[in-house]
Structure 1
Amino acid sequence: MPVSLQTRFAFVITFSLILHTLILTLFVVRVLLRRNRQPASRIAWILVIIAFPIIGVLAYILFGEVNLGRRRAERMRRIVAQIPELAYDSDRLLIPPEIPEIHRHLFRIGKSINGFDPVAGNRATLMADSNAAIDAMVADIDAARHSVHLVFYIWLPDNNGLQMAAALERAAARGVICRAMADDLGSRRMIHSSHWRRMQAAGVRLVRALPIGNPLLRPLRGRIDLRNHRKILVIDDRITYSGSQNCADPEFRIKAKYAPWVDIMMRFEGPIVRQNQLLFASDWLAHVDDGLDAELRRPVLATESADGFPAQVIGTGPMVRASAMPEVFESLIHSARDELTITTPYYVPDEAMQSALCAAGYRGVRTTIVFPARNDSFVVGAASRSYYADLIAAGVRIFEFEGGLLHAKSLTLDGAITLIGSANMDRRSFEINFENNILLYDPELTKTMRQRQEHYIAHSRPVTADMVDAWGPGRRLLNNSIAMIGPIL
């Protein structure tokens, strides 16, 4: 007896529902089985997959897992294992007596991430602004005698970006080994420009960090938005820079309506330089066979800067434990006794970090956070503001900077400890991006950093409880709804 059209239709519908349910179930189970995922992240992904089945599943395939790609991950592990350990010419460098016992545990957290000890004998200068930082970098490259190593997340073919390119070309022309790396997504304008080809022709060794290749096939080989967010310059194994500065003009013409970008950068000399050198080498050698053994195996000398301050490089990313950078921030926050001041453009914390900041306020620590008034990411800006009410209730002072997009990532603690680098206080920096920071103990340099932070505060508007209470239900609904999916941003 022939099957009726109605019966066939019912069969198709039933089969489709079963297949739909099976696919959703498989992805929900995968979310539950993934390692190193916070419960809030699991819940957020499960809600997205169930509420928006097609879009949710596709989003999870593209962005749900921190996946470097098997071959890339294996090469990076092999390279990191082959990089020689640091050798110092003085035990005093490894036992910095300047660090009080009350702060030493902070540097133990840092060592657990990369194996870098805090090393004594460093000096640093805080750059006046973004243009001054680029000018200083160019001057140091022009004075380079042996090597220049550089990695930036964003390198634009604008005034400052081309100044850097020209300095590298001049250095290569006089026989200096120049190795420059730029993220394939963040620096795509420079990479696909004639300036990139001209640097290559001049003898600058160039690498595209985390190349995307075919964007349609990229998700099959690893997550497309997993990026190298680091900003490192190392010159002659003697000078290094660390901070939030990309290789671009503060006018940041790709997002000009938020300009100027307000960044912060420090120039370091001393044994800390070698740690940044090793971090650069781990990135460079993961992409190209270009030996750096001779430079990496030289003993680190105390030299004339042995009376300087102790410092430590902290490099995080998908190749270290997912909780590494949050642990650094939370340890610093919990350690605050008198004063804690933070500047960050992007704040999408996990529950532990939000609780740590609130606890600092409740125990009487003078806690201040400065955000940009206008964020280039509407989603992140809205999510950040969902946390304002609880922070203010705990006594945390919140300011919104009005002099441009405050892109500076800085933390000062009790007038003695400073953290500076590329990491934001959001899940992208914590779990996805390769980041670099420097943690240091020096009351004088921290005082200088505090003055810069106070400059930001002076150009900011305070956010009060009355202002937050005055937000309408629509705005609160939007902020809180976006914050709900914060674990997957």
Structure 2
Amino acid sequence: MLVDILIGIHILAWLAVSLRVLARYDLTAPARLVWLVILFILPYAGLVVYWMFGEVHLGFNFEHRYNKISQQLRSNFPQVMGSKDTMEQVIDPEYRPAFTYSASVNGFNTTLGNKAELMPDPKTTEQRMIADFDAATDHIHVMYYIWLDDGMGTAIAEALMRAAKRGVQCRAMVDGMGSRKLLRSPLWEGMKQAGVEVSVALPIDNIFKILLFSRIDLRNHRKITIIDGKIGYVGSRNSADPEFRVKPKYAPWVDIMLKVQGPIVAQNQMLFASDWLMENPDTPYDTFPYLIQQQPEGYPAQVFADGPTQRQGTTPQFLSILMGHAKKSLVISTPYFVPDYTLINMICATAYRGIDVTIIFPKHNDSFIVAATSHSYYWQLLEAGVKIYEYKPGLLHAKTLTIDDQISLVGSTNLDLRSFDLNYENNVIFYDKGLTQQIIERQQSYIEDSVEVTHDEVRDWPIYYRIWINIVSTMGPVL
């Protein structure tokens, strides 16, 4: 009798979840099909997997509160948002749709007078950041997805502690999952004791509450560094050494970082404020200074940021619009490649219409699932004429995109569904030939340390490997 009751409850639960999948308006047809297959093949475990990972929700009222904070910040500090008129005056007509679309996501328009200095190597990046921390007189705000208590992580923490002791307002925020080891370390406690205000984005301290009411894999993947509202650092590097000791097998992590000045610093400041206020709602809004300081001979730029509280599909749509207006070249470097159909089709279409398209991946990826999924797209990309390179010396972690020697995009976003739908990300799109040429040269240095993937190589992959990568890629819509 009890067994019959349990079976009946399971059947009702399975039917309810299946109907929920069919009724959702925010799922693509492939994702809906994958979930139905999972529920059919794994009728018991599938229910648990869907409960934990099936829907993008951060808990009761989270999205409403986040959007309310963002709207309040935009209303209180409209000077940060830039102007659509500026974009129309300085961006060539063929590229304007991408900048306009970017502004529609979170309100950041094109600003003038920005400058960016490409950091030459990891050690210089660390030294310059520490020097800027030690020179700070008003505030330092940092947000990192991963913060390790290694060489760089400790140096950053110690610089913050020195600054706090001399009266500089210091706020440090980390993701609850990515930096979970730091949160249990003496370094984190030491920052608190020294007067650094610390906070955790999307904390995971109450695991049972998270499993019941939200998703544990929705994370804050941003990398934000603000000094006195005048200087910022943007790029792909976390607060960690290139040796990345949590995964030393794949080291060194190869990142790209820019030191930036100008109005885009204020836009990143607003992103930091929105994340901070979500976890610290009693913080006064006016304790986040927004300095709109245009740099002499600066250039147009704007912040593009995305997250699970924004409308779905914004990043692949933005990138597709950008690629669709390429006239000569498109070069991409990304460590993780799990594209949706919008993006993979646009990359191929860009190559088919005669644009020189190049993508650089790491040869050895720290995620075998992502590596297999990426490989499943190689033949399609090669058939379209895309050049594929695999970087050998370490894990190429730099997320870069350049178009026509004119436009460059640098930030935290990977070309995978996690960055598109599940993570909070921050990037900057620059409109400047000089800076773009420097980033292209950096991309070329990656290519020089890579091996090119050919048609013949992919054609000769064993049949069992082709079956394996295609099975894995079938799960792409829900990875």
Deviation at 1:190, TM superposition (A): 1.1
SS of corresponding position for 1:149? strand
The equivalent of 1:59 in structure 2 is 49
* 4+ aligned runs moved over 6 Å, structure 1: 88-93
Determine if contact 2:87/2:96 at 8 Å carries over to the other structure.
no
1:478 paired with 2:472, answer no
State the alpha-carbon separation in 2 of the partners of residues 270 and 299 from structure 1: 8
Give the corresponding residue for 1:28.
18
Deviation readout 1:352-374 (Å, 9 max, x if unpaired)? 11111111111111000000101
Equivalent runs, 1:70-149 vs 2, <5 Å: 70-83=60-73, 84-87=76-79, 94-95=86-87, 97-149=89-141
Query: Per-residue CA shift, 1:218-268, capped at 9, x if unaligned?
Result: 211211111000000011110111110000000000000000000011111
| Distance in structure 2 (CA, Å) of the matches to 1:403 and 1:318 | 34
- Tell me the equivalent position of 1:251: 243
2:123 partner SS: helix
- Indicate yes or no: 2:357 matched with 1:367: yes
Could you give the per-residue CA deviations for residues 115-143 of structure 1, whole angstroms, max 9, x where no partner exists? 11100101110111223222221111111
Is 1:168 the counterpart of 2:160? The answer is: yes
What residue in structure 1 maps to residue 183 of structure 2? 191
1:178-217 alignment to 2 at 5 Å? 178-217=170-209
The structure 2 residue matched to 1:294, chosen from 246, 269, 286, is 286
Contact 1:89–1:300 (CA<8 Å) still a contact in 2? no
Q: CA RMSD in A?
A: 1.9
Q: For 1:465 and 1:92, locate their aligned partners in 2 and report how far apart those are by CA, in whole Å.
A: 45
Partner of 1:4 in structure 2? none
SS in 2 for 1:286: helix
Read off the aligned partner of 2:221 and give its amino acid letter.
Answer: H
Distance 1:299 1:346 in 2: 35
Structure 1, unmatched stretches of 5+, are 1-7
For 1:236, the aligned partner's letter is D
Distance 2:178 2:220 in 1: 9
CA–CA distance in structure 2, aligned partners of residues 162 and 277 of structure 1: 23
Aligned runs of 1:231-270 on 2, under 5 Å?
231-270=223-262
Matched AA of 2:164: A
**Aligned AA for 1:208?**
V
Aligned partner letter, 1:42: R
Change (3 A) 1:54 1:279: same
Alignment partner, residue 27 of structure 2: 37
The size of the alignment, in residue pairs, is 477
Question: In structure 2, which of residues 145, 149, 153 is the aligned counterpart of residue 157 of structure 1?
Answer: 149
Equivalent of residue 312 in structure 1, options 295, 298, 302: 302
**1:218 matched to 2:225:** no
Question: Which residue matches 1:47?
Answer: 37
In 2 relative to 1, CA 374–92 (structure 1 residues): closer, same or farther, beyond 3 Å? closer
* Aligned match for 2:366, one of 360, 367, 376: 376
CA distance in 1, matches of 2:290, 2:151: 36
Q: Quick one: which amino acid aligns to residue 334 of structure 1? A: G
Q: Label 1:474 to 1:107 Cα distance change in 2 as closer, same or farther (>3 A).
A: same
Structure 2 length-normalised TM: 0.96
Cα deviation 1:33-64 (Å, max 9, x = unaligned) = 22322111111111111111111111111111
Question: 2:423 maps to which residue?
Answer: 433
Residue 412 of structure 2 is matched in structure 1 by 422
Give % identity.
44
Separation (CA, whole Å) in 1 of partners of 2:290 and 2:332? 37
Cα gap change, 1:299 to 1:408, in 2 (>3 Å): closer
Shift of 1:428: 0.4
2 CA distance for matches of 1:135 and 1:221?
42
Specify the code of the residue in structure 2 equivalent to 1:431.
D
Cα distance, 1:328 vs structure 2: 1.5
Q: In the alignment, is the contact (CA less than 8 A) between 1:93 and 1:119 conserved in 2? A: no
Change (3 A) 1:104 1:89: closer
- The CA deviation at 1:95 is 4.7
